[in-house]
Amino acid sequence: MKTKVMVSWSSGKDSALTLIKLLDDPTIEVVGLYTTCLEDEVPFQATPIDVLKQQAALTGLPLVLIPLPEVFPPNALYQSRVVEGLRNSGLEIDAVAFGDMFCNGIAEYRRGYIEPAGWQCLFPLLGRDSRELAEEIIHSGIQTLITTVDTHQLDGEYCGQWYNADLLARLPLHVDPCGENGEFHTLVVQAPCFREALKIQRLDCERQARFHYQRYQLIEPDGEISSAGDF
């Protein structure tokens, strides 16, 4: 019997690498993706829901959206929303997988509400060296665009650039190669787990006081461009 796994999907590179590893594991059956969202976007990633849905469609997996009342809800409320959302998904779940990399207590935190609900916690990337993971992400064929930059940690000029070997070579030494300290967030536009590339048209980069956001539009399969939402 294969372990039926739900994957936490942020729309970025870490969750994509997690999904690829699980899809390659013969003991695991990925049954779906889930994402917590605030109104019409993914917090921090600032990914519009219509783009998120298109990513899920490209994987061929069902997407479970779990609405949050605010960006930082109390822990008990966040945990109960996630557990309730997964239980009400209609999917059979044995385990929930996360793309966390750092051994900073996050695994214990997630186990604290996932395991009492009756599911296992899986962390395929946990404890790996960030530089090695960054290179694996690039070499595996995951193509990502930096769509959010915290300018308190990284120059806003990196916003809108492709996450590739050239960018890694130019990152300041104090910046984690995977952006695990919140320096930047990415949008996956192509990956081995996608049937085809996510088609977007880049627009302007919005430079707010602290956070910079790369704006873009989603190109629908019929070739028409629809707004990707105002995030």
Average pLDDT over residues 2-18: 97
CA distance 145 to 187: 5
Q: Which of 61, 95, 122 is the last residue of a domain?
A: 122
Residue with tokens 């899986």, as numbered in its chain: 122
CA–CA distance, 14 with 101 (Å, rounded to integer): 8
Per-residue confidence (pLDDT) for residue 172, from 0 to 100:
97
Domain boundary among the residues 122, 151, 178 is at: 122
Amino acid in position 220: E
**Structural domain harbouring 73:** 3-122
pTM assigned to the model: 0.92
Q: Would 132 be classed as within a structural domain?
A: no
Q: Would you say residue 29 lies in a domain? A: yes
What's the number of domains the chain is made of?
A: 2
Q: Are 105 and 216 members of one domain?
A: no
Kindly report the length of the chain. Answer: 231
For residue range 38-70, what is the model confidence (pLDDT) as tens digits?
Answer: 988 998 888 999 999 999 999 999 999 999 999
Q: With 70 as the cut, is the pLDDT of residue 104 above it?
A: yes
pLDDT confidence of residue 222: 57
Give the pLDDT confidence of 174-186 residue by residue, as tens digits: 999 999 999 999 9
Which residues pair with residue 97 across a beta bridge?
7, 122
